[in-house]
């Protein structure tokens, strides 16, 4: 997967400077922003960020739907989407009387049910008879519930559907999409490609090739292959596979077309990608790859959000000085409160310095990327008030 190396893209020579700041409110208020996609590697707070952006946009007067993938239980409950039914549900408790808020906004939220989305696509594309055949096939069950990339692909599929509906009846003017918690942020963009290249795979084509005409030559080789597979997997596997592939064949075209359309939707100007990261080397490395990849694919990048930044400590005291003083105090009085505070200050300063260095390195390599820095909250976010607070921090960042 990521073993293939891709060239880095950057200014090649640059003098360091601060990153331009990301104006979240301008982005949310801009009526031409129709889709916001939040990407990033796992564990960086994508879901919370998407929900917070969606709430803020709604309270500022946009008609928003947020598509989340796997929200924390309490957050889902507070948004009224603890049931996985693949339908957007209205979120109650919006506030319109805050500063900068406007009336007329609304927020719907939904949690993606990957398997159901896939089933619905099959049902909409095939005759009921054929759909049933496909849905019951063990290979389909495996593909729809755990194929690496199905979740990403289905998130895109659902985005395409919601977008088409919104266009048709004006239900929403902004769609916020959370992306699946993969280790690599690139998985989201690679998923449709992976699925369609899989469907185009040589072996699938072979299974579909009738044993006559010029294909005869190939079939000789195929015999060896089939024998080997039967020996390893058992005979029933191959016949299941064949049934699945031939039943699915008529759908391939439709699938590719839909994936292509969604990909174009993501490239459109009304889409804005926000790359979410934590101030950690791995997360920022993923963010860097993603930013570069968006450029290559002509996808509109709006900016970088650095979540969970540690707050800058007050006072002008270096970590080393604080540590030395802490040790001196401890010698005199082992339980000294001031010594503990100084040790804390030293730790905090070191963390903040490291984060600042990581961010400035990112900015040097990607000088064009507007950035918002969101300080770490002490607790988890599990209600609208918490989301509102995150939204405010995003706007302040």
Partner 1 sequence: MTEPADWSRLRLHVVTGKGGTGKSTVAAALALGLASQGKQVLLCEVEGRQGIARMFDVDPLPYAERRIATGLRHDGQQPGAVHALHIDPESALLEYLSMYYKLGRAGRALDRFGVIEFATTIAPGVRDVLLTGKVFEAVQRNSRNKGAVRYDAVVLDAPPTGRIAQFLNVNDELAGLAKVGPIRSQADTVMTLFRSPRTAVHLVTVLEEMPVQETADGIAELRRARLPVGAVVVNQVRPRDIAPADLRAALEGRLDTERIATDLEETGIDGGADLVPGLVAEARDHAERRALEDAQRAVVDGLDRPTYELPRLPGGVDLGGLYELAAILKKEGLA
* The 271-277 sheet, strands edge to edge: 89-90, 106-111, 63-68, 174-178, 35-39, 271-277, 301-309, 371-375
Taking the least distance from each CB to partner 1, the nearer of 239 and 257 is 239
Q: What angle do CA 114, 118, 124 make, to 5 degrees?
A: 145
CB of 54 to partner 1, least distance (A): 19
- Does position 119 bind partner 1 by CB under 8 A? no
CB 116 to partner 1: min, Å: 18
Q: Among residues 146 and 257, whose Cβ is nearest to partner 1?
A: 146
Here the tokens at position 277 are 């990261």
The least CB distance from residue 315 to partner 1, in Å, is: 3
| Nearer CB in complex with partner 1: 11/221 | 221
**Which residues 6+ apart lie within 8 Å of 37 measured at CB?**
177, 179, 188, 266, 271, 272, 273, 274
274 touches 23 (CB < 8 A): no
CB 298, CB 329: distance < 8 Å:
no
Among 311, 368, 385, 396, binds partner 1 (CB under 8 A): 311
- Residue of the chain from 29, 30, 43, 392 that contacts partner 1 (CB under 8 A): 43
CB of 68 to partner 1, least distance (A): 14
Residues in contact with partner 1, total (CB under 8 A)? 81
Distances (CA, A) of 235 to 222, 231, 262: 15, 7, 38
CB nearer partner 1, residue 8 or residue 203? 203
Q: Which is nearer to partner 1, 94 or 225 (CB)?
A: 225
By CB under 8 A, what part of segment 246-305 binds partner 1? 278, 280-283
- Rule CB under 8 A: say whether 390 interacts with partner 1: no
Of 139 and 255, which CB lies nearer to partner 1 in the complex structure? 139
Rounded to whole angstroms, how far apart are CA atoms 184 and 258?
24
Q: What does the per-residue mask of binding to partner 1 show for 318-357, with x meaning CB under 8 A?
A: ---xx--x--xx-----xxxxxxxxxxxxxx-xx--x---
Smallest separation, CB 154 to partner 1 (Å)? 15
Query: Among the candidate windows 165-173, 252-260, 366-374, 378-386, which touches partner 1 by CB under 8 A?
Result: 378-386
- Residues of span 179-238 touching partner 1 by CB under 8 A: 181, 183-184, 194, 198, 201-204, 206, 221-222, 224-225, 227-237
Count CA atoms closer than 13 A to 303's CA, side-chain side.
20
Residue 380 touches partner 1, criterion: CB under 8 A: yes
For partner 1, the closer of residues 213 and 315 by Cβ is 315
∠ Cα 313 314 316 (to 5°): 105
- Tokens representing residue 373 in the block: 């820095």
Name which of 69 and 166 has its Cβ closer to partner 1: 69
Task: Tell me whether residue 10 or residue 181 sits nearer to partner 1 (CB atom).
Answer: 181
Residue 295 burial by CB count (10 A; 0-12/13-18/19+): exposed, middle or buried?
middle
Q: Where are the beta strands (DSSP E) in the chain?
A: 35-39, 63-68, 89-90, 106-111, 174-178, 271-277, 301-309, 371-375
Asked if 159 and 265 touch (Cβ cutoff 8 Å), the reply is yes
- Give the footprint of partner 1 on residues 86-115 (CB under 8 A): none
State the nearest-atom distance from the C-beta of 224 to partner 1, in Å.
5
Region 125-164 residues binding partner 1, contact defined as CB under 8 A: 138-139, 141-143, 146-148
CB of 42 to partner 1, least distance (A): 3
* Distance linking the first and last C-alpha atoms of the chain: 34
């Amino acid at each position: 997967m990521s073993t293939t190396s891709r060239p880095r893209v950057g200014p090649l020579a640059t003098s360091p400077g601060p990153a331009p700041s990301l104006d979240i409110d301008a982005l949310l208020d801009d009526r031409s922003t129709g889709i916001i996609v939040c990407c990033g590697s796992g564990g960086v707070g994508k879901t919370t960020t998407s929900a917070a952006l969606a709430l803020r946009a709604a309270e500022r007067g946009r008609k928003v739907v947020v598509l989340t993938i796997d929200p924390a239980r309490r957050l889902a409950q507070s948004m009224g989407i603890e049931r996985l039914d693949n339908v957007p549900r209205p979120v109650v408790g919006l506030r319109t009387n805050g500063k900068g808020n406007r009336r007329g906004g609304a927020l719907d939220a939904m949690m993606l049910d990957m398997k159901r989305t896939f089933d619905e696509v099959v049902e909409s594309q095939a005759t009921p008879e054929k759909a049933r055949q496909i849905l019951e096939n063990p290979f389909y069950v495996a593909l729809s519930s755990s194929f690496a990339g199905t979740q990403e692909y289905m998130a895109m599929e659902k985005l395409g559907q919601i977008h088409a509906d919104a266009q048709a009846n004006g239900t929403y003017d902004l769609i916020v999409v959370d992306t699946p918690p993969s280790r690599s942020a690139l998985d989201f963009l690679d998923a449709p490609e992976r699925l369609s290249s899989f469907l185009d795979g040589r072996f699938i084509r072979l299974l579909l090739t009738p044993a006559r005409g010029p294909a005869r030559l190939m079939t000789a080789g195929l015999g060896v292959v089939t024998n080997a597979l039967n020996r390893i997997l058992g005979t029933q596997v191959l016949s299941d596979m064949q049934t699945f592939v031939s039943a699915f064949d008529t759908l391939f075209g439709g699938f590719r077309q839909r994936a292509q359309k969604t990909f174009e939707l993501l490239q459109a100007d009304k889409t804005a990608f926000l790359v979410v990261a934590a101030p950690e080397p791995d997360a920022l490395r993923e963010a860097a790859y993603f930013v570069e990849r968006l450029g290559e694919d002509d996808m509109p990048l709006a900016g970088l959000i650095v979540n969970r930044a540690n707050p800058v400590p007050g006072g002008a005291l270096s970590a080393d000085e604080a540590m030395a003083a802490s040790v001196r105090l401890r010698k005199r009085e082992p339980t000294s409160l001031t010594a503990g505070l100084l040790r804390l200050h030293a730790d905090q300063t070191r963390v903040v310095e490291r984060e600042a260095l990581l961010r400035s390195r990112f900015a040097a390599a990607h000088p064009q990327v507007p950035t918002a820095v969101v300080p770490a909250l002490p607790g988890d976010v599990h209600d609208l008030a918490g989301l509102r607070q995150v939204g405010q921090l995003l706007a302040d960042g």
